[in-house]
Amino acid sequence: MYLNATFSASPFDDHYQMALIYCFDQDQNYCFSLSRFPDEDEIEVMVLDQVNRKVSDLSVVLGGSTLSISLDDKLAAQLDGHSSYTIRLIGIDDCKMETLRGALRKIFEGKNGLRIEG
């Protein structure tokens, strides 16, 4: 699935008490998010509106202003059937990029699967 999305990210969101990234494609009315509570081992993947599952690991690549996410077939079937997401992040600047990197590092702390390019 291809998304052109605005996003928010935080290594620790005070309101939700977790690390998170939230992407929203307004044209498709579609959201994708990753989050993790500090005391949990699993990463929560959410799509659409509150369709979510927790996983031990997944593959995420941040290359420039694009996130590429790969899900295994079992997880994809439990969500909405898409096993890959390519998300072009809209409105990213240096400050937002650093916040996004920090949030992804926190979400993947102690885990494999994250690659940040560039």
Residue 41: CB partners within 8 Å, gap ≥ 6? 56, 110
pLDDT at 40 over 80: yes
Name the pTM for this structure. Answer: 0.94
Closest CA to 47 of 83, 17, 13, 73: 83
What is the per-residue pLDDT for 25?
98
Neighbouring C-alpha atoms within 13 Å toward the C-beta of 69:
24
How does pLDDT run across 72-90, given as a tens digit for each residue?
999 999 999 999 999 999 9
**10 Å Cβ neighbour count for 14?**
6
One-character DSSP codes across 19-35: EEEEEEETTTTEEEEEE
Owner of token pair 């593959």: 59
Query: How far apart are alpha carbons 10 and 20 in whole angstroms?
Result: 5
- Nearest-5° angle of CA 87, CA 63, CA 71? 55
